[in-house]
Amino acid sequence: MELEEYLKYDATGLAELVARGDVKPAELLALARERAEAVDPALNAIVRTFDGVADERAASELTGPFAGVPFLIKDLQQEYRGFPSTEGSRSLAGEVAAEHSLLVQRLLDAGLVIFGQTNTPEFGSKGVTESEFWGPARNPWNTAHTPGGSSGGSGAAVAAGIVPAAGANDGGGSIRIPAACNGLVGLKASRGLSPYGPRVGEVMFGMVTQGVVSRTVRDSAALYDAVIGPNSRAAYRAALPERPFAEHIRREPGTLRIGYSTASAITANPHPEAIAAVASAAELLTGLGHEVDEVRPPYDDKRLAEDFLTIWFASLYREILAIKERTGARDRDFEADTLAVGEIARCNGVGKLMAAIDHINDYTRDLAAFHDRYDYFLTPTLATPPLPIGTLTTPKWQQSGSRVLHRLHGGRVMRATGILDTLIEQNLGWVPYTQLANLTGRPAISVPLHWTAAGLPLGVQFVGRPGADGDLLQLAAQLEQARPWAHRHPAPVVHRTAEV
């Protein structure tokens, strides 16, 4: 197989070739590495490779639905035994995983040949992938722009054709944001459906879910089929789908009621391209026979943003303390922004955190009432096209001040300066739509239906009822058939053509 042919296949198609004996796993691994060598110096998507281990695996007898297909995992909560999982932080550079994470083990059981880890921001804490430790990952559609975050390295690697799908996870949009930035499919699964463990049962009160980004809906469906399932160490068991997703997406979804909105109290004026993306999706859905209405957002997104960041900051603060205790890391081993939000969380105390957690009940009730009338809530995935690299970089003087205030326990000073409002505006202002699904535990998917006039992808998001994961994939499959996207490739992968 030649590289140009490799780029035409999704993971399901490559697995079929291996199963027929048309190509060997070692050949596919070599092609994935060849593509990485050609494009990754410009993208910085891959931060670590498992060369010897991957070669041995590719040469062995592999079984499973994706036997022999090359794959990458995220350098965050997707541990591979014998290698570090740094979570984008210098503080974890010396810690080696003692065992595979449950997700990684299930990916291996599916036959995938995992040969490296992808770039992520420190602790996955931003919607862009620009850690000080690994450096910025770049968008293959335009390397001056971000591939999103926190699964930005995975998104860039898939869009650039290194692999047809890659590991990702989502605590506030970290699957859907890179999917939208890179022209990919990104499903955030229902709470508890995709596996965490064995080291931890769930992250951030179940707000974080494991998953993938992929070029095709059928790959996402089949990969989730491969990894979801009972986990004896979990605190609870999520209801499993009645039929495999890969089978479900072959059925028509029927007539759906969909409410859409582009409004946000955080972002008063979403970019015209974001509005156009939703308008175009609404028109397409109407043409497919669905009932589509413009609606008011069914929740208070300004308060939700504050509550989300309160919970997120508290989780980061706990992460800092745990790493210091476990590894002996010092403040200098963490980024200034991480220390700053940790100090804000320390100052907030338990009362503010518990209030934020209590408010989740309100958002869940409001969204449930919306779903009494509508099957899905449609929004832009992003309020603006992918940001230029460095847009969210904190100025050096502010980083220095944050370190000083952290050392002096100056959280109250930080709060008095209005830093929380600034962080909401900067970090969530361009992605105000994605946190709802994490707080409420609902499934949500980003689908690549729109490209901007400048040639950058800009996805749209659908939020569904609990357990509607398969139905979301089913709708995405219908949209993919009506407006295909897998044939689109960014310039670093193939030469730009008139249809891109």
Active-site annotation, residues: 74, 150, 174
Angle 3-157-451 (CA atoms, 0-180°, nearest 5)? 100
d(CA 194, CA 228) in angstroms, rounded, equals 5
> Would you state the structure tokens that stand for residue 245, as one six-digit string?
């997703």
Residue 288 · residue 282 · CB < 8 Å:
no
Half-sphere exposure of 173 (CA within 13 A, CB side): 33
Going by C-alpha positions, the residue among 57, 69, 86, 66 that lies closest to residue 32 is 69
Phi, psi of 159, deg, nearest 5 = -60, -35
Tokens 């965050």 correspond to what residue?
A: 76
Tokens 């049962």 correspond to what residue?
A: 201
d(CA 422, CA 420) in angstroms, rounded, equals 5
Type of residue numbered 160: A
**For 205, which DSSP code?**
G
| Cβ count within 10 A of residue 412 | 12
DSSP H stretches of helix in 242-335 = 245-248, 272-287, 301-327
Give the helix/strand (H/E) hosting 222: helix 217-227
> Would you state the structure tokens that stand for residue 131, as one six-digit string?
């850690």
d(CA 22, CA 16) in angstroms, rounded, equals 9
Strand partners, 192: none
**For 409, which DSSP code?**
T
- What is the b/e burial string over 15-43, where b = at least 16 CB atoms within 10 angstroms of the residue's CB? bebbeeeebebebbbbbbbebbeebbeeb
Cα distances (angstroms) measured from residue 424 to each of 40, 120, 311, 413: 32, 20, 13, 17
d(CA 421, CA 333) in angstroms, rounded, equals 26
Tokens 């689109």 correspond to what residue?
A: 488
Residue 13 · residue 45 · CB < 8 Å:
no
d(CA 240, CA 242) in angstroms, rounded, equals 7
> Would you state the structure tokens that stand for residue 429, as one six-digit string?
């202002």
